[in-house]
Amino acid sequence: EKGGFDHFMLKEIYEQPRSVKDCMRGRIYPEKGKVQLGGIKEFAEKLKNIDRIIIVACGTSWHAGLVGEYLIEEYARIPVEVEYASEFRYRNPIITEKDVVIAISQSGETADTMAAIEMAKERGATIFGICNVAGASIPRLTHAGVYTHAGPEIGVASTKAFTAQVTVLTLMAFYMAQQKGTITTSKLIELLTELDNIPEKIQVALESNDLIKEVAAKIKDSTNCLFLGRGSGFPVALEGALKLKEISYIHAEGYPAAEMKHGPIALIDEEMPVVFIATQNSSYEKVISNIQEVKARKGKVIAIVTEGDTEVKKMADYCIEIPDANEAFLPLLATIPLQLLSYHIAVMRGCNVDQPRNLAKSVTVE
C-alpha cells in the first residue's frame, strides 16, 4: 500500500509530478493560451466585476492561500485578503454580495473553515471551494468549486494536497486574468506552456533527495530552525517551517526574510540553521543580503537555489538546487526539497512521520 516507500508521506511526496499533472488535466490549453475551470464556469461573468476576494483556510491550506494572493493580485489584479478561518469567523468581518470567498480545505471537513463559509454565505458572498475530497462537507456548502484531484492523502502532514491547492490557485489566477482581460493570450500561452512542464521539473527537484538527506543529518539535532523567503517564497518558508515542526517536533518559524532584522536576528548563532528560499527571481539580490546578515552572525545557511547558481553557493553552507522557472511557479518547486528535508529529519529523530503526536487528518472540532 505504501508502494515500496517506508512511509505514506514519502510516497505522497514522490507522487507530486503525477498529482500536479492530474490537477491540470483538461483545465489548461497551452497552445491556445486558455484555462478552463468547469467548476466555476457559471460565475465567469461575475468574475469580470468583482472588487475583492477573501481566502479562508487553516494551516497548510492557509499557506496555499497566501500563494494564491500573490498570483491573483499579480495576474488578475483583484485585491485579495487571506484569513485564518478561525479568526475570520469570530470577527464581524465586512462582507457583501460583491465579494467572492475562496475556502481552501484538503479534507473538506475542517470545522472553522466550514463556519467561516456559513457566515460569508449568510452575508451574501459567493463561495468557491478548493477541496481534495469529492462530496465532503465543504464542497456541499459552497456555490461552486474546483477539486484538487491529488488522490487520497494518508500522511497527516499535507504534501501533495498542498501542491495541488497551489496548482488550482495558479489556474484560478490565470482564469480570472483571462476573464478580466488583465493578461494577453500570448502571455498566457507562455505561462501555460511552462506550467505544463512543471511536473517534469518537480521530478528533477525530487532527484536531490540524497543530498537533502545529507543536509538533514547535519541539522537533525537542532532545537530551532528559521525559514526565510520573500515574495511568494515567504509562504513557502511558512510551509517549510510548519512541516518541520509538525513531524520532527523541532521548533521552527517561517518569516519574510526582510523581517528578520526586526526581531528574529537576535536568535542567530552557530546553533541556528536558517533555510533560505534563494532562487533567482525578483528578490534574489535582497535575499543574498539577508544571507550575508545570517553568515555574519555565524548562522548555518541552507539555501534552496536555482540550478547553476554560483552567488549563493559562495556563502551558504549547503545549497539544494531546483530547476529554473518563472517566479509564478516557484512555490510548486521550492516546496519539494523542504518536504524532503522535514521528512528525513523526522525519520532520523525516530518520529512517527505519518502520524505525528497530537495531530489528526481532519480537524472537525473548533
Which residues form the catalytic set?
A: 361
Residue in 113, 178, 283, 342 binding ligand F6R, rule: CB under 6 A: 113
In the complex with ligand F6R, the residue whose CB is nearer, 75 or 343, is: 343
Cell triple for 167: 496548482
Residue nearest to ligand F6R (CB): 59
Cell triple for 358: 497530537
Per the CB < 8 A criterion, the answer to whether 344 and 216 are in contact is yes
The residue written with cell numbers 552567488 in the block is: 311
Give the Cα separation of 231 and 224 in Å (integer): 23
Phi, psi of 80 (to 5 degrees): -125, 140
Residue in 106, 178, 248, 306 binding ligand F6R, rule: CB under 6 A: 106
Residue 102 makes contact with ligand F6R by CB under 6 A:
no
Per the CB < 8 A criterion, the answer to whether 262 and 228 are in contact is no
Give the Cα separation of 290 and 37 in Å (integer): 40
In the complex with ligand F6R, the residue whose CB is nearer, 148 or 178, is: 148
Residue 142 makes contact with ligand F6R by CB under 6 A:
no
- What lies within 8 Å, CB to CB, of 64 at 6+ separation is 57, 104, 130, 162, 165, 166, 169, 235
Cell triple for 110: 475542517
Task: Kindly state the smallest distance separating residue 105's Cβ from ligand F6R, in Å.
Answer: 3
Cβ neighbours, 10 Å, residue 24? 21
Give the largest Cα separation in the chain, rounded.
56
In the complex with ligand F6R, the residue whose CB is nearer, 106 or 163, is: 106
Residue 157 makes contact with ligand F6R by CB under 6 A:
yes
What x-and-dash track marks residues 167-206 binding ligand F6R by CB under 6 A?
----------------------------------------
Map the footprint of ligand F6R across residues 57-86, applying CB under 6 A.
58-61
Choose the binding region for ligand F6R from 53-61, 73-81, 206-214, 282-290 (rule: CB under 6 A).
Answer: 53-61
Task: Kindly state the smallest distance separating residue 166's Cβ from ligand F6R, in Å.
Answer: 13
In the complex with ligand F6R, the residue whose CB is nearer, 35 or 131, is: 131
Q: How far is CA 25 from the centre of its chain?
A: 20
Give the Cα separation of 138 and 150 in Å (integer): 17
What x-and-dash track marks residues 270-309 binding ligand F6R by CB under 6 A?
----------------------------------------
Which residues in this chain contact ligand F6R in the complex, by CB under 6 A?
A: 58-61, 105-107, 110, 113, 157-158, 242, 246, 362-363
